[in-house]
């Protein structure tokens, strides 16, 4: 009798603990889940379904907006370039020997594209072009890496032009300090042409 009584008491305690555990498990999610929801599975499905259309709607709007933008006509591009006054900031990273043909070709190419270059003290500049260069020699070739940032007169960056040009070294150079000795004027002139052409394309692409 005593054993059966103990067993009965143990079962009752175990059931009471189980009931407490189940009650706790039910109360914790209900404290997190909003009262309006009927169960945890349904709100999860609804929230995931609701988040899928959200990005889709702006994407469709963006696509529609992009569709309405028309590329500039040659006449419009020419008008934009004619109003542009480009100021070129001092070149960073390139040697004086390499920067000289680069600067000269920038001026030549800008005139060919109808772009007016503004002096360093000219307050009427519409755009400022800042260039950052580095050169790396590997074997018989030297690669020039360049980055141009286009700013408005207030200092806001509008566009970035970057690239690299690999050409045979004109002189034997070893190490980054001597890599500029292997860069030919023709390489820097080619970079200048690409830079002005990409800048002009950027201006033309802004028209709508």
pLDDT at residue 15 tops 90: no
As a whole number of angstroms, the distance between CA 149 and CA 196 comes to: 12
Domains with residue ranges and CATH for the chain: 2-68 (no CATH), 74-205 (3.40.50.10610)
Higher pLDDT, 161 or 65: 161
What tens digit of pLDDT does each residue of 30-56 get? Answer: 333 344 444 444 333 343 333 333 334
> What is the CB neighbour count within 10 angstroms for residue 120?
10
pLDDT at residue 82 tops 90: yes
pLDDT band, residue 74 (cuts 50/70/90) = confident
pLDDT computed for residue 71 by the predictor: 67
Furthest CA-CA distance within the chain: 112
Higher pLDDT, 175 or 112: 112
Mean pLDDT of the chain: 75
Higher pLDDT, 122 or 178: 122
Enumerate the H helices of 35-147 as residue ranges.
Answer: 41-51, 53-68, 74-83, 96-112
pLDDT at residue 192 tops 90: yes
pLDDT at residue 147 tops 60: yes
Say how far residue 123 (Cα) sits from the centre of its chain: 29
pTM: 0.63
Task: Please choose, from the candidates 142, 148, 147, 132, the residue with its C-alpha nearest in 3D space to the C-alpha of residue 165.
Answer: 142
Burial class (CB in 10 A: 0-12, 13-18, 19+), 147: middle
pLDDT at residue 61 tops 50: no
pLDDT computed for residue 39 by the predictor: 43
As a whole number of angstroms, the distance between CA 191 and CA 174 comes to: 23
Q: What's the mean pLDDT in 106-133?
A: 95
């Amino acid at each position: 009798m005593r054993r059966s009584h103990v067993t009965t008491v143990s079962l009752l305690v175990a059931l009471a603990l189980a009931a407490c555990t189940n009650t706790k498990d039910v109360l914790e999610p209900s404290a997190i889940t909003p009262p309006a929801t009927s169960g945890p599975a349904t709100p999860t499905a609804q929230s995931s379904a609701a988040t899928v259309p959200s990005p889709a709607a702006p994407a469709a709007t963006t696509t529609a907006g992009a569709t309405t933008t028309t590329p500039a006509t040659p006449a419009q591009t020419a008008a934009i370039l004619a109003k542009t006054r480009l100021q070129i900031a001092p070149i960073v990273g390139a040697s004086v020997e390499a920067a000289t043909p680069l600067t000269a070709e920038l001026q030549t190419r800008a005139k060919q594209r109808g772009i007016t270059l503004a002096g360093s003290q000219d307050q009427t500049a519409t755009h400022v072009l800042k260039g950052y260069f580095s050169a790396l020699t590997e074997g018989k070739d030297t690669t020039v890496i360049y980055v141009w940032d286009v700013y408005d007169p207030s200092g806001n960056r509008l566009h970035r032009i970057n690239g690299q040009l690999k050409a045979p070294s004109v002189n034997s150079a070893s190490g980054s300090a001597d890599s500029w000795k292997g860069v030919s004027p023709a390489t820097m002139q080619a970079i200048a042409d690409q830079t002005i052409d990409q800048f002009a394309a950027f201006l033309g692409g802004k028209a709508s």
